Amino acid sequence: MVIDLSASLGEGPEVILRRGVQVGHALGNQHWPAVVSGSRVYVPLMVARDVMAAVVDTHAFEGISCTFAPGDEVAPTLAAQDARLLFAGAGGHRHEVASRPAGEEK
């Protein structure tokens, strides 16, 4: 799924921030991995397209469009680490946790 935020770029920073947080909340609530590249958010197909589109449509985000594109078209446009994160994580939910050197406190 490709969520395009480019229509928001002409808005003020508060609008851009609000829309970004709203989209992030909607995606995070579903536990879907996502990668941001430029003004687009890429989400691997986790369930049926109509279900994923309904999640975005339910929120009626102003100035945000949602389409679908094949992964083999999207992957070459992303940095290698983003493509791995996006497509390698499509099989299930996980959180990446950075390791700390021994003895280092949080």
Report domain extents, the chain: 2-91
Handedness of CA 20, 32, 67, 47 (dihedral sign): negative
pLDDT above 80 for 106: no
pLDDT above 80 for 51: yes
∠ Cα 62 92 64 (to 5°): 10
pTM score of the predicted model? 0.73
Under the banding of pLDDT at 50, 70 and 90, the label for residue 16 is: confident
Reference 56, options 72, 81, 34; nearest CA is 34
How much is the pLDDT for 89?
A: 54
Rounded distance, CA 75 to CA 85, Å?
11
Q: Where does residue 58 rank: exposed (0-12), middle (13-18), buried (19+ CB within 10 A)?
A: exposed
Residue 101 DSSP one-character state: -
Of residues 71 and 89, more confidence is placed in 71
pLDDT above 70 for 90: no
